[in-house]
Structure 1
Amino acid sequence: MEAAVEAHPARIGLVTQLFRFVIVGGLAAVVDYGTYQMLLHLGLNHSFWVSVAKGCSFILGTTTAYLLNKRWTFNVQGSATSLAQFVLLYVTTFFVNVGMNALSLHVLPEFAWKVSVAWVIAQGSATTINFLVLRLVIWRHA
């Protein structure tokens, strides 16, 4: 009986999942934004290199989010299938994130917080997609 409980952990409610997702997202955002700013200050702040910096920071933030969301937010053991689905989701949102960042940097007027605002727009777009697909598709039984 106990083995069955471990094989099928208790489902966590939507409000709890959303709350935990926001906490994990905040931590992952700190990793992402901190890495992005560090890389920009190290010299990856010209045209193409801004997207490279954003890509690297997204990967580190995403890895943080995956590991914490899998076990804490959605309480799943994970399988090769969910990992493969997760990778596909994050490849998609990688391009959404980096693309929205580049588009925002292109269309926003020059002002002191332009880079940060572009990062928030990109992050918000990708985060919305991530939560919906994780909850409704990948870890729908969690």
Structure 2
Amino acid sequence: MRFLVTGVLSAIVDFSITIALQYGLDVQLSLAKAVGFVVGTTVAYLINRRWTFAAAPSRKRFVAVVLLYLATFGVQNVLYTLFGHLWPETVVYSAVAFVIAQGTATVINFVVQRTVIFRVS
């Protein structure tokens, strides 16, 4: 449940920044998504480490999370950009593309964090 709450909060941050940059400031869609992702995943990491998984700070864990987030960034950005080029560039279609990309990355993040990075003994 905590992972879900954290994910929703982080996704709201990511989506808000992505849409504000893309439609408010006319930033290219994959760059807007990249900035939103970096801010959203930073929020997610900080909350997940302290609240969701109650893990002590660890350089090794931090590096593992950075590598995981780089991988899921690639997945998210490819999916968001792909749908952004297949569908008309509107806020509604961008929201649907965001949900698909975010949902895919969330599943990957949860599985890897739960089973590898923040493994429960």
User: Following TM superposition, by how much is the alpha carbon of 1:107 offset from its aligned partner in structure 2, in angstroms?
Assistant: 3.1
Alignment RMSD, CA only? 1.5
Higher Rg of the two aligned structures? 1
Alignment-derived partner of residue 83 in structure 2: 104
Matched, 1:72 2:51: yes
Deviation at 1:109, TM superposition (A): 6.0
1:80 deviates by 0.6
Alignment of 1:126 onto 2:105:
yes
How far apart in 1 are the matches of 2:91 and 2:17?
19
Choose which of 33, 38, 56 in structure 1 pairs with 2:20.
38
TM-score, scaled relative to structure 2: 0.93
Distance 1:120 1:110 in 2: 15
Q: Which runs of 5+ in 1 are unaligned?
A: 1-18
Give deviations 1:55-85, integer Å, cap 9, x for gaps.
0000000000000000100010131100010
Alpha-carbon distance between aligned partners in 2 of 1:32 and 1:55, rounded to the nearest angstrom: 9
More helix by share: 2
Q: What code does the residue aligned with 1:20 have? A: R
Percentage identity across paired residues of the two chains: 44
Distance 1:132 1:111, change over 3 A: same
Match of 2:31 among 44, 49, 52: 52
Counterpart check, 1:22 vs 2:7: no
TM-score (norm 1): 0.79
Distance 1:105 1:96 in 2: 14
Aligned residue pair count? 120
Tell me, yes or no, if the aligned pair for 2:19 and 2:91 is still in contact at 8 Å: no
Provide structure 2 residue ranges, at least 5 long, that are not aligned to the other structure. Answer: none
